[in-house]
Amino acid sequence: MLTPLDIHNKEFGRSFRGYNEEEVDSFLDEVVKDYEKLYRENIELKETVDRLNSKLEHYQTMESTLHNTLVIAQETAEEVKLNARKESELQLKEAEIRAQKLVEESMAKVRRVQSEYEELQRQVQVAKTRMRALLQAQMEMLQKAEESDG
């Protein structure tokens, strides 16, 4: 690529009927100025493009990282929900089993108490029957004693 210094240092050969040297030099000076300005702007624009490309790359990397993080977070959230659902189902089943066991134990206790109550009622009935028999035997003895006394 042609540099401003190359333009500035360019020498042209002289000829008998050539261009006016002062006009050519003046024009070349203007060309050098404009070319230098364009050359610097081009360098600055390249640096700006490089800097912007670097930032773009950085932001693309961040975007990719954030996207991956979001995907992982979503997967983790789904896994946590699934585990929580499984845990709650397990706890519910365990509670149902404990409740069923308590009901069965209570029913067995009720049957035992009822059986004991029925046994006590029979014992009371037997005691009443014995008492009647005893009282009746006592009454008969009293009657016989009265009859023999009197």
DSSP 16: T
User: Which tens digits make up the pLDDT trace of 138-150?
Assistant: 999 999 988 888 6
> pLDDT digit string (tens) for 17-68?
777 778 888 888 888 888 889 989 999 999 999 999 999 999 999 999 999 9
Question: Closest Cα to residue 7, out of 32, 34, 33, 26?
Answer: 32
Q: What percent of the chain has pLDDT over 90?
A: 70
Amino acid found at 48 = T
pLDDT tens across 62-118, in order?
Answer: 999 999 999 999 999 999 999 999 999 999 999 999 999 999 999 999 999 999 999
Domain chopping of the chain, boundaries: 4-149
User: pTM for this structure?
Assistant: 0.45
- Main-chain phi, psi angles of 18, to 5 degrees: -80, -175
